[in-house]
Chains A and B, each alone.
Chain A
């Protein structure tokens, strides 16, 4: 069964609205989660590292006020795309490290965001 649950799977919204994406670790607690963004036929680009109990760490060039991350508990991280615009349309994927080891990641199924 799925280890990481991400939803919604897809969302269509009007320009200017905010969209929240949830990522849940189902099988184990995760003090760290990662948020990636993927454009069509492109690679995954790390946006930020979500840290439980502290502020997220953002990659260079990623606007922290635009992409709000809240790691509310040891099993839940949320990414909110604020005041979304068409250029924010993309595939967003979260991932959870395997039981805290520097090994493989478990990925959510992704969220396709389309901003009209």
Chain B
């Protein structure tokens, strides 16, 4: 059921720097979502971008979507140590069951103070 692929698998940066994570997927989608997971915890929804949208912002987060390339990126600006977590993209595929998500492998982000 895994659909997306994120890269890099791991990213290590200093506080204040920007972090960019990429996600690729394989089929037609209704929307793409980014989630955050702290170690050993559940997932927290960050942002959703629909298939007819190209860019979306939420606070320090910026998400882009290129449906022609079947890819998305998540940019976290001015990163903080508290941003350290795993980040997953997930797609809702066209025609799929309500609420059914396909997750990528995730990017482990470490932000050093």
Task: Show the binding face of A for B, using Cβ within 8 Å.
Answer: 4, 6, 32, 34, 36, 41-46, 49, 57, 59, 91, 93, 95-98, 100, 102-110, 112
Contacts and interface: CB of A to CB of B under 8 A. Distances in A.
A94 B40 CA distance: 14
Most chain A CB within 10 A, of B1, B92, B102, is at B1
Contacts of A42: 105
Contacts of A100: 98
Contacts, number: 68
A108 B33 CA distance: 17
Nearest to B9: A41
Interface of B: 1-2, 30-31, 33, 35, 40-45, 48, 88, 92, 97-106, 108
A115 B57 CA distance: 43
A88 B98 CA distance: 27
Contact of A102 (B2, B40, B88, B99): B99
Task: Give the interface SS of chain A, mostly helix, strand, loop or mixed.
Answer: strand
Nearest to B50: A103
Nearest to A57: B97
Given A43-B104, A104-B48, A6 B42 contact: yes
